[in-house]
Amino acid sequence: MKTTKPLRLAAFLLATLAAPLAAMAQAPWPQKPVRLIVPFAAGGPSDVLARTFARNLSDGIGQPVIVDNRGGAGGAIGIDAAAKAAPDGYTLGFAHTGTTSINPHVMAKHPYDPLNDITPITPIVSYANMLVVNDKVPARNVAEFVAWAKANPNSATFASGGNGTTNHLSGGVLKLLTGAPLLHIPYKGSGPAMADVVAGNVASMFDIPVTVMPQAKSGRIRPLAILSSRRSTSMPDVPTLSEAGFPGFEEAGSDLWFGIVAPAQMPPALVERIYAETLKTMRKPEMQEAIRNMAYEPWTMSPAEFKTFIRNDYAKWGKVVKASGLKTE
């Protein structure tokens, strides 16, 4: 009997510990509200997209999906919070190109490893920057813009939302591809940057279609090319950079994206469940209409494919950051 009591006690303790774990594994997700951490301030285009997604996901899963805006550090603060949450499906992150593929190369003390500290679920949209010039620049296409920039190096400026942003790095890659002596003018946000381009104070900028469209319709700016592998369905008359005679941008990392990520070490069955609900959400008419209105392109892939994509995207943008000479902060 003396030898069986410890064994019985051990068996009892194991059963006691295993019972709640088994219940957790068997409980269908979700049983309570889900938090979606958006690494930007409320009110911008990315926040509107995230809130539209959250509302439609909530309708599908029957639980509130609460948007938690945590801006700062180019999105690193918000995604770091998502990465450090419990991998139970009740905290998700609204990641994008900058938070996984660019910031880690730019920030000297980046708080998380995008290749190991998050679980990729799926991208939901892709988009790309467009090269635009103000109406004072005489160029009607990219070749003319490059020729004008080389002839007028002191005037060949381009604005961005800040050092390390995609519209900054887009300009850096165009400089490498064309040899145009473009001078970078960083702003605190894309809004002020575009305002100065429209006013004619800066010659050019690289920005997303949803921002470009209203300004292009007014005639204050002129889109010359989209920096992606395909034309935008919202502005189909604008050629790709390759079609404009300057191939190579696609290999450098041109297509941008927003997507859903989760903490690392999430159980595979739960990953697949969240992925399936995300796909259902993306197929909803309201979601499709919102994506079109925001000039994004719907885009999904499996968690395994997304993991491979992020690894490749990280490597591509690392080369772009290095080639741009951008200093880490």
Give 26's pLDDT tier (boundaries 50, 70, 90). low
- What pLDDT score was predicted for residue 13? 53
Alpha carbon distances (Å) from 112 to 75, 162, 215, 315: 12, 22, 37, 16
**Residue 1 has what pLDDT?**
47
H-assigned helices in the chain: 4-26, 45-61, 76-83, 97, 103-106, 142-151, 166-178, 190-198, 209-218, 249-253, 268-282, 285-293, 303-324
Do 33-127+256-324 and 136-253 have matching folds? yes
CA–CA dist 32, 34 (Å, integer): 7
pLDDT, average across residues 59-77: 93
Confidence tier at 143 by pLDDT (50, 70, 90): very high
The architecture of the domain spanning 136-253 is 3-Layer(aba) Sandwich (3.40)
Confidence of residue 188 (pLDDT cuts 50, 70, 90): confident
**253 alpha-carbon distance from chain centroid:** 12
Taking the domains of the chain in order of start, what are their residue ranges?
A: 33-127+256-324, 136-253
* Higher-scoring residue by pLDDT: 40, 11: 40
The mean pLDDT of 132-157, rounded to a whole number, is 96
3-state secondary structure of 227: coil
Q: What is the pLDDT of residues 74-102, one digit of tens each?
A: 889 999 999 999 999 999 999 999 999 99
Selection from 116, 66, 125 nearest residue 95 by Cα:
125
- In the structure, what pLDDT confidence band is assigned to residue 24 with cuts at 50, 70 and 90? very low
Distance CA 231, CA 297 (A): 10
Q: Could you tell me the CA-to-CA distances from 276 to 49, 57, 291 in Å, in that order?
A: 19, 11, 19
Q: Is the pLDDT of residue 22 over 50?
A: no
What is the tens place of the pLDDT at every residue in 231-260?
888 899 999 999 999 887 766 656 799 999
Range with top average pLDDT, 31-40, 183-192, 205-214, 314-323: 31-40
Mean pLDDT for the chain?
Answer: 89
pLDDT attached to residue 310? 96
- Check residue 74 and give its pLDDT: 81
The three-state secondary structure class of 94 is: strand
Q: What is the pLDDT of residue 175?
A: 86
Asked which of 39-43, 217-221, 270-274, 296-300 is least confident by mean pLDDT, the reply is 39-43
pLDDT at 253: 59
DSSP code, position 248: T
pTM: 0.83
The tokens of 201 are what? Answer: 């104070």
The verdict on domain 33-127+256-324 having CATH code 3.40.309.10 is: no
Cα–Cα distance list, 223 to 44, 150, 203, 213, 215 (Å) = 22, 19, 12, 9, 10
Write out pLDDT tens, residues 266-297. 999 999 999 999 999 999 999 999 998 888 98
> Percentage of the chain with pLDDT > 90?
63
The percent of residues above 70 in pLDDT, for the chain, comes to: 89
Q: What is the pLDDT of residue 321?
A: 84
